[in-house]
A and B are shown apart, each in its own frame.
Chain A
Amino acid sequence: MKKRTMETSLAGHSPGLVRSIERRLFLKQGLSLGALALLSGCDPTDDEGVQSLLKGMSRWNDRAQGWLFNPNKLAPEYPESAITKPFPFNAFYSEEEVTLVDGKDYKLELEGLIREKKPWTLPELYGLPQTSQITRHICVEGWSAIGKWSGVRFSEFLARVGADTSAKYIGFTCADDYYTSIDMETALHPQTLLTFRFADQVLPPKYGFPMKLRIPTKLGFKNPKHIMSMFVSNEYPGGYWEDQGYNWFSGS
């Protein structure tokens, strides 16, 4: 429509001039389209082609972070005095909606490429060699907080149950319907702990009773709470936030 009007109004002028004016109009319209897109909140993110490009780049970033990950590099540890008080609560629901898991009947289920699939009770898990760490929890939103967690080295647990550590992924399903998954290299990192205690107390429900996988080499949302079952797999398991577009590896 616009183009026709322009052609009519420019009839009789030299083709060179018309072309040059058209070019200028095109530039002007292009620029104002960009400004309009920005101002109207019509986000180019919604475009299908842009979407697949961004998702492709996120998968590329998964791989890049896998290469960058050094299994011997330790997250900085802090003194007790550096602990953040109160430690922030964070989940995809509010603090009043925290899931309460009954510890008496609790059993951790194991599935997938694991030799000993016998479920674990809490007293059995508490009986494993325990270790502590004071590390910085970094949220994908940008804020961070330092906390103290205690539990068993995840690599130790995986060895005891005979997990196939040559597999690619470990997935977790949680009592609050959260789910996530991590790469095997991170699972075997010495600071990745299956924790049962926070600040020297039994993990309170808001921080993930009965257990939270603490991974100081990953962002907070990669640290599942209220874990009910885990599975070892070579098929990409995704995650609650990851399936919505958050980067899967999300390493620190």
Chain B
Amino acid sequence: MEAAQAQWVKVHPLVVRVTHWINAFGILIMVASGWRIYNASPLFPFRIPNELTLGGWLAGALQWHFAAMWLIVINGSVYLTYGIVSGHFRRKLFPLTPGAVFRDMLRALRGQLAHEDLSVYNAAQRAAYLAIILCAIVLVLSGLAIWKPVQLQEITAIFGGYESTRVVHFLAMALLVLIVVVHVAMVILVPRTFPTMITGRARRTS
């Protein structure tokens, strides 16, 4: 029997892997504690079940939120700086055309999207990862604007004032959570991608 020659290809650089997992941990804390904070004064006619939240009560949730805030911002800055300076974003997320995104999303829905080479993202992935980055930036900015509507009132004004900033912060969270759910679902459908985000390597059989 002739076994195919296994060939390891580098898929994710170390900085991306480390910041990815720190970010995953940080986002989990921010979302779960944020849901508890939301419950203290819901913007919409629904509450998040307390079982899904973090902090036990408002004060606890605020402590988590404003502690993990530093983790998210520092880690996110490292990731963004690396992504821009190293050319990682340019290589991995671009070029990106609406047509290609639409085509690959349709393929994904039909289960026809191939993942032979994990080092190259398809257009649906590129759009999703770029959207997550943009969501995170909006979340940080709107979060700062809610936290400091006097000291950072210029940012609050960009979002249309204190009350509308709360809505922006919530909607950006909702979009981010939606993309993360799809992201995790895709990882479950293509489990090969999971160890790759830990080891950085993928086996390419040729």
* CB of A167, distance to nearest CB on chain B (Å): 23
Task: Determine the main DSSP class of B at the interface with A.
Answer: helix
Count A interface residues, CB 8 Å.
Answer: 38
Query: Which partner residue on chain B sits nearest A64 by CB separation?
Result: B70
Decide: B50 and A141 in contact? CB cutoff 8 A: no
Q: Does B67 contact A (CB under 8 A)?
A: yes
Q: Mark A107-151, 1 if CB is under 8 A from B, else 0.
A: 000000000000000000000000000001011111110000000
Query: Is A41's CB within 8 Å of the partner chain B?
Result: yes
Interface centre among A44, A45, A61 (most CB of B within 10 A): A45
Stretch at the interface among A193-201, A206-214, A240-248: A240-248
A41 to B51, CA, bound (A): 5
Q: Are B60 and A45 in contact (CB under 8 A)?
A: yes
A216 an interface residue at 8 Å Cβ cutoff?
yes
Contact residue range for chain B? 20 to 34
Is B79 an interface residue when CB atoms closer than 8 A count as contact? Answer: no
Task: Check A68 for interface membership: any CB of B closer than 8 A.
Answer: yes
Tell which of A2-10, A69-77, A169-177 binds the partner.
A69-77
Given A73-B150, A139-B41, A216-B150, A246 contacting B59 (CB threshold 8 A): yes
Bound together, the chains give a CA A45 to CA B55 distance in angstroms of: 6
Chain B residues near A43 (CB, 8 Å)? 54-56, 60
**Which residues of A are in contact with B by a Cβ distance under 8 Å?**
38-41, 43-46, 53-55, 57-58, 61, 68-70, 73-76, 136, 138-144, 216-217, 241, 244-247, 251-252
Could you list some 27 contacts between A and B, CB below 8 A? A38-B32, A38-B51, A39-B51, A43-B56, A43-B60, A45-B54, A45-B55, A54-B64, A54-B67, A58-B66, A61-B66, A61-B67, A68-B148, A68-B151, A69-B151, A73-B150, A74-B150, A75-B153, A139-B41, A141-B58, A142-B43, A142-B146, A144-B163, A245-B59, A245-B63, A251-B150, A252-B148
Enumerate chain B interface residues (CB-CB to A < 8 A): 32, 37-38, 40-41, 43, 50-52, 54-56, 58-60, 62-64, 66-67, 70, 146, 148-151, 153, 162-163, 166
